[in-house]
Amino acid sequence: MNRIQPTVSAENLTQFETLALDSSMNLADGHARQQLTSAQSKIVAELPDMWAEAIMRPVSEIEQEAAESFFGMLGQHSHPFAAGRTLSCYSSSLAMEILARSLVTTSDAIALLHPTFDNIPDILAGVGLKLIPVEEEQAHDDDLPAELLEQVGCVFITTPNNPTGRVMTEARLRRLAEQCAEYNVVLALDTSFRGFDTAAQFDHYAVLEASGCRWVVIEDTGKLWPTLELKIGWLARSANVDLPIEKIHSDILLGTSPLILLMVKRFSDDGADGGLAELHRTIAEHRALVRAELAGVPDISFVDEQARVSVERLHVGSRMGMDVWSAVRSQNLYVLPCQKFHWARPNEGERMLRLALSRNPSTLLAGAEVLRSALLDTPERHR
């Protein structure tokens, strides 16, 4: 029996995620909510000692250690922290806001990957930038057209992409960076999901530096570990970027918490010492679990066969995604409808849902069972 529910109003993906926060079956947001591993639990138990350490030591030393450990864990050995070109932020979205405000001082338009998580277009458009969509296939397969590069001050790419998991190869990144150098366009990367996919762990900074292009990279500790929203977003830039990033960063914050930086260092060291490989196995198991639990449901498919990221797209066939979303919500299961990832043409996402995999297996199992019966009950719909 369906309970009567208030009408839903969600203006963006994050508001859809907010609806799910108190539910025991929250498969909506891409934040990590699985159990701590035993090695991670030990680190958490040492937080009081880390607090004392954070009080005693110079912040810049702690920040450097956190950056070395985090970027090192991810293969980003040419990162520019030592050169003074990596700023820490409370979140990667804040880093994005700082980048957006910097860009709009010198340009009025930006080329942005399509689809991608909607807070990226919203932040960029929010400062007044005009957005020009770059289809994922085009970004990965072809040179960008000259007419596009002549119009924009920046090309913004999310790799691995959210929600598709698509990773830009080293060869493609090199070519894109060369094109950006040629047209004097800033190349901006959001690599928040890179920790999940070893294909995204070649040394991006070496490629960017070799190209000579102006570049900015946003990195995120926030998707990997279940650390209760304690995280760092890093904002790294080239020496020649010629944007007021440092000034705008300082307008907004003095710095991040040395306690969180120490925690990031410890989680990263554990990651490099086998924790990241363990996470990869966990996410792969969770992906297999969800696919197995939904196997045999007619007229569905998993869209991103190669994805390694902690989210999974489900195509619901001739059903409408929002019909399935509403049906599972009445059972207290929350997933994410995909229209808003397709920020330029939302209808392209209307038959897809995104499921979060960084959860406990019991939650995924319960969610998949609810989803399975809802899919079996949801009728076809033609628009």
Binding footprint of ligand EGV on the chain (CB under 6 A): 14, 17, 29-30, 93, 117, 119, 162
Query: What span, in angstroms and rounded, lies between the C-alpha atoms of 344 and 357?
Result: 26
**Smallest distance, ligand EGV to C-beta of residue 2, A:** 27
Query: Which of 74, 177 has the CB closer to ligand EGV?
Result: 74
Q: Which parts of 146-185 are beta strand (E)?
A: 154-158
Length in residues, the chain: 383
- In the bound state with ligand EGV, the residue whose beta carbon lies nearer, of 79 and 313, is 313
Q: Which is nearer to ligand EGV, 40 or 358 (CB)?
A: 358
Q: How far is the CB of 53 from ligand EGV (least distance, A)?
A: 28
Alpha helices in 245-275 (DSSP H): 245-252, 258-270
Closest approach of ligand EGV to the CB of residue 255, in Å: 20
Closest distance to ligand EGV from the beta carbon of 247 (Å)? 23
Please, are residues 252 and 114 in contact by the beta-carbon 8 Å criterion? no
- Minimum gap (Å) between residue 123 Cβ and ligand EGV: 8
Closer residue to ligand EGV (CB): 123 or 173: 123
Nearest distance from residue 63's CB to ligand EGV, in Å?
22
Cβ proximity to ligand EGV, 50 vs 232, nearer residue:
232
Nearer to ligand EGV, 81 or 267 (CB): 267
Which residue has the CB atom at the shortest distance from ligand EGV?
30
Radius of gyration in angstroms for the set of CA atoms belonging to the chain, rounded to a whole number:
21
Query: Which candidate, 283, 309, 77, 305, places its Cα nearest to that of 192?
Result: 309
- For residue 155, CA distances in Å to 140, 146, 307 come to 13, 13, 23
CB of 231 to ligand EGV, least distance (A): 9
**Smaller CB distance to ligand EGV: residue 263 or 355?**
355
Q: Which residues pair with 234 in a beta bridge?
A: 88, 219
Q: Which is nearer to ligand EGV, 70 or 341 (CB)?
A: 341
Helix 321-329 and helix 361-377: axis angle, to 10°? 120
First-to-final CA distance of the chain: 27
Q: How far apart are CA 263 and CA 50, in angstroms?
A: 8
* Rounded-to-integer distance, Cα 361 and Cα 233, Å: 28
CB of 336 to ligand EGV, least distance (A): 7
| CA separation, residue 343 to residues 13, 68, 121, 125 (Å) | 11, 35, 7, 11
